[in-house]
Amino acid sequence: MRVLGVDPGLTRCGLGVVDGSAGRARMIAVGVVRTPSDAEPGERLAYLETQLGEWLRRFSPDVVAVERVFADANVASVMTTAHATAIALLTAHKHGVPIVFHTPTEVKAAVTGSGRAEKAQVTTMVTKILRLDEPPRPADAADALALAICHAWRGSAAARVAALTPGGMP
């Protein structure tokens, strides 16, 4: 199964492509889409849409895995993340690729064995699992790869859970 992991954001949107099956994972590509915070919001979203479309065309993933965002104290940050998530939903739909959501806890548990693992531990495990020479930077790139690994390993079970989520909305 080929998974495109997306750590949604406008300033930095992490992207990672992984081929994987239970217990196995190979990195195909990793990157970060950056847009300047002083650019017009619509322009930033349009650029993200273009870049996501490029990745979908180039790597033809079977599924897109996105981090499910929860509201927290930083409302402005949650809103821009939600906007980036909407672009992922829209673009994946236009390319006919299903999209699934995983919580940060699910992702941490999948790659470290603990849903309460530190960010650094996630990066360390992603580096080991994918046998990379050095840790993916920035953290958004590592998080995108972790998402992709998480979904590839959870496989069809996660897809069934997503289908059962009321409304299916992130």
Show binding-site residues for Mg(2+): 7, 67, 140
Site string for a second copy, 2-41 (x = CB under 8 A): --------x--------------------------xx-xx
Q: Which helix (H) or strand (E) holds 19?
A: strand 12-21
Candidate ranges 76-84, 103-111, 118-126, 150-158; the one touching a second copy (CB under 8 A): 76-84
Q: How far is CA 27 from the centre of its chain?
A: 14
- CA distance linking residue 153 with residue 26, whole number of Å: 12
Annotated binding site: 7, 67, 140
Residue that the structure tokens 């930083």 belong to: 74
Identify the DSSP state of 130: T
- CA distance linking residue 50 with residue 116, whole number of Å: 34
Please give the residue ranges that form the binding site for a second copy (CB under 8 A): 10, 37-38, 40-43, 45-46, 49, 69-71, 75-76, 78-80, 82-87, 89-94, 99, 167-170
For the annotated catalytic residues, the residue numbers are: 7, 67, 140
